[in-house]
Structure 1
Amino acid sequence: MEAAERHVMILKAPAEDPEDDGRDPYSHLLRENGFAVTSVPVIDFEFCNLEELRDCLQAPHKFSGIIFTSPRAVRATALGLGTDQRLPARWSQHAFFVVGRSTAAALRSSLGAEGEGAESGSAVALADYITQRSYAGPLLYPCSSLQRGTLPARLQERGVRAHCVTAYATVPHPGLERSLALALASSRPPGFLVYFSPSGVAASLPVLRGLQLPFHRLKVIAIGAATQAALERSDVPVWAVCKEPTPEQLLSRLSSPGPS
């Protein structure tokens, strides 16, 4: 590959995988395999409704488990527990469901619990995993203000109830425009642009277009079908899609000879 083809710009939330000591596992793996990586945090998070979440966490008898679809949901739960940050003992009798290894790692590190379904890769696939068995009570679901209702609707279709608590809001990262301008000015143009979420697309795309980034020259990779759809709605051609949010799958897409 030429130099630009080895340069990857990653647009995502700041890294928060507790098992990687603050390092972004995506950037780490790509650099190990000879790629130059520029990582720009494009979104951030504000926590909310923690008192409501705390009330739910103090009533495990009302629920049959908890669903975590991101490390932020785990963090919100830890904050909701207050200074003790320990789940009431009865939660150990319930199931904990997670999307992705980073969420599983956050759950293990922050709350000392093991999650199921980490390899499901998406909220829809996790819903299918969850509904393989029945539950006496609803599942607590600390979620984003941007959650589209797909997972609760999928569960409801199959007779499983979810109690949703909006625990965090997604906002553009502070100084996003300056960060992107500096990243594009200080390094050679990227060959790949990697988007991780629809909210990341919404926050950064207008800025990048204002900076006249030549999208037609880039290979744009979407992490997940929802991110792919957000890009296509914005008329950005998607070169490849990672169906699962893992560093290994991103490396595989970057190393493939053609789109997938």
Structure 2
Amino acid sequence: MKVLLLKEPRESETEADPYIQELASCGHTASLIPVLSFRLVSLEELSERLLQPERFGGLIFTSPRAVEAVQTCLHSLTHKWDAVKDKWNEKSVYVVGKATASLDIPLETLTVYQTSEHPDLQNNVTDYFTRQGVPASVAFFSPSGVKFCLDLVKRLSGSQLEKIKFASIGPTTADALRSHGLPVSCCAEKPTAKHLAAAITHALHA
């Protein structure tokens, strides 16, 4: 069965997307359409902080985009970075998720990227429905994806909207779908390709 994934592709262009792979192993044909566009911001301020390691006890990355922002700054700092690199190497560097907010330590935050609707989203989704028809399932991966795509999916699906099994990568995205009046056919038990593929397969055969 056809499944439409409204998510971001893998960072690596050499590896197949795991969600497409898992769904294929379950007998489905999945297509991926990028929903969001990312723009790095505050790079000058980030560069200044990177040159002041004495101000901080460590560094916390909350997303791959944050890592990309630091890499961009390091390319421009060159020799200045060499002077402070060893000091940063003595500090702790963390990659974390939701637990960050519950840490009882003082945190200084800096937003280094902004998200917006992918510039080709409307055309790509319209082209998919024109060529492939209405999919058996549509999977959403973020509340932003719901915000940017749902009205278009509703319009293109027309009278067949009720036949689509809407899937969610997690509870927050599921709540976003419900807030727009759509039933959530399935929600991944864990935010992984394997769990989402299993949930979609179960929903399509229910």
Structure 1 residue 200 corresponds to structure 2 residue 145: yes
Deviation per CA, 1:68-107, whole angstroms, max 9, x where unpaired? 33222221221122245988233333333335xxxxxxxx
Residues 108-127 of structure 1 mapped to structure 2, 5 A cutoff: 123-124=97-98, 126-127=99-100
- 1:169 maps to which residue? 114
1:34 offset after TM fit, Å? 2.3
User: What SS does structure 1 have at the residue aligned with 2:3?
Assistant: strand
Deviation, structure 1 residue 161? 2.0
Q: Does the aligned pair in 1 maintain the 2:141–2:173 contact within 8 Å?
A: yes
Partner of 1:239: 185
C-alpha separation between the residues in 2 aligned to 1:38 and 1:97?
Answer: 33
CA distance in 1 between counterparts of 2:2 and 2:157 reads 18
Instruction: Name 2:70's counterpart in structure 1.
Output: 77
Letter matched to residue 12 of structure 1: K
**Counterparts of 1:95 and 1:243, CA distance in 2:** 32
Q: Please state whether the residue corresponding to 1:244 is helix, strand or coil.
A: coil
Question: For 2:172 and 2:157, how far apart are their aligned partners in 1?
Answer: 25
Q: Does structure 1 residue 220 correspond to structure 2 residue 166?
A: yes
The letter for the 2-side match of 1:160 is: I
- Corresponding residue for 1:102? none
d(CA) in 2 for partners of 1:192, 1:218 = 5
Match status 1:182 vs 2:127: yes
Structure 2 distance, partners of 1:58, 1:224, is 38
Report what 1:15 is aligned to. Answer: 10
Determine if contact 1:44/1:171 at 8 Å carries over to the other structure: yes
Q: In 2 relative to 1, CA 7–69 (structure 1 residues): closer, same or farther, beyond 3 Å?
A: farther
- TM-score of the pair, normalised by structure 1: 0.68
Check if 1:98 corresponds to 2:91: no
CA contact (8 A) 2:7 2:35 kept: yes
**Alpha-carbon distance, 1:59 to partner:** 2.3
Identity within the alignment, %: 31
Matched, 1:58 2:51: yes
Q: Distance in 1 between matches of 2:93 and 2:188?
A: 25
Q: How many residues align?
A: 200
> Which segment is superposed worse, 80-89 or 215-224?
80-89
Q: Is 1:254 aligned to residue 197 of structure 2?
A: no
Q: Which runs of 5+ in 2 are unaligned?
A: none
Which one of the candidate residues 21, 28, 32 is aligned to 1:28?
21
Q: How big is the shift at 1:164?
A: 1.4
Please report how far the alpha carbon of residue 193 of structure 1 lies from its aligned counterpart in structure 2 after TM superposition: 1.0
CA-CA distance at 1:170 after TM superposition: 0.6
Report the structure, 1 or 2, having the larger helix content: 2
Structure showing greater Rg: 2
Q: Distance in 1 between matches of 2:136 and 2:22?
A: 17
Residues 7 and 141 in structure 2, CA contact (< 8 A), matched pair in contact too = yes
2: CA distance between counterparts of 1:242 and 1:93?
Answer: 39
Give CA deviations for 1:174-230 in whole Å, capped at 9, x if unaligned. 121111011111114211111111111111112222324544222211112221222
Q: Give the direction of change, closer, same or farther, for the CA distance of 1:90–1:244 in structure 2 (3 Å limit).
A: farther
| d(CA) in 1 for partners of 2:200, 2:110 | 37
